């Protein structure tokens, strides 16, 4: 795992480009901070200022699915590029009492006040709330809102 960083802290210590991160690490950007984190083979997470993300774990691949990167976004703005079409990877982003999953595409996310809003830009994505409600995002319904353990659909304007 490597990170390119400016105005970024990893576990409250200044980040250095090329620094390794591991499960349990918390990445925080200050008001002017920007970060690019590269995970696994092809997945990249871009973070804007005033963002906090925790790298939770990697779930090993099985015969029926690829590895899964699990992150938690407590606050801020990010863009996840989950691999490419040749090597799609799966990323699960926890927040708002649920999780969004992106496979081989791009997902924008905004988190604040225990609410996670995600917008699928490409690939395959879904949201699942703590109450087990699930939403598969489509070209016409690209956005979901996770809040208080519930999931709501939204229409993204692109």
Query: pLDDT digit string (tens) for 121-148?
Result: 988 899 998 888 888 888 888 899 999 8
pTM (predicted TM-score): 0.87
pLDDT for 90: 85
pLDDT for 3: 52
Is residue 73 within 8 Å of 94, Cβ to Cβ? yes
Query: How is residue 47 written in tokens?
Result: 């973070």
Share of the chain above pLDDT 90, in %: 42
pLDDT for 154: 60
Q: Extract the runs of DSSP E, i.e. beta strands, from 20-142.
A: 26-39, 43-47, 52-59, 68-81, 90-95, 98-112, 115-129, 134-136
Q: Which residues pair with 77 in a beta bridge?
A: 110
78-131 pLDDT tens trace: 999 887 666 767 889 999 889 999 988 899 999 999 899 999 998 889 999 888
pLDDT for 5: 55
pLDDT for 77: 96
**First-to-final CA distance of the chain:** 31
Cα dihedral 135, 82, 67, 62 sign: positive
pLDDT grade for 76, boundaries at 50, 70 and 90: very high
């Amino acid at each position: 795992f490597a990170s390119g960083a400016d105005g970024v802290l990893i576990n409250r210590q200044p980040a250095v480009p090329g620094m390794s991160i591991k499960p349990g690490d918390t990445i925080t950007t200050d008001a002017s901070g920007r970060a690019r984190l590269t995970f696994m083979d092809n997945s990249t997470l871009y973070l804007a200022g005033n963002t906090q993300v925790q790298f939770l774990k990697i779930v090993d691949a099985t015969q029926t699915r690829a590895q899964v990167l699990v992150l938690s976004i407590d606050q801020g703005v990010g863009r996840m590029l989950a691999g490419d079409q040749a090597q799609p990877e799966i990323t699960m982003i926890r927040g708002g009492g649920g999780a969004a999953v992106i496979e081989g595409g791009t997902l924008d996310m905004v988190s604040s006040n225990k609410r996670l809003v995600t917008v699928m830009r490409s690939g395959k994505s879904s949201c699942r709330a703590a109450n087990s409600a699930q939403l598969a995002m489509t070209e016409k319904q690209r956005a979901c809102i996770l809040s208080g353990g519930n999931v709501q659909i939204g229409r993204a304007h692109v």
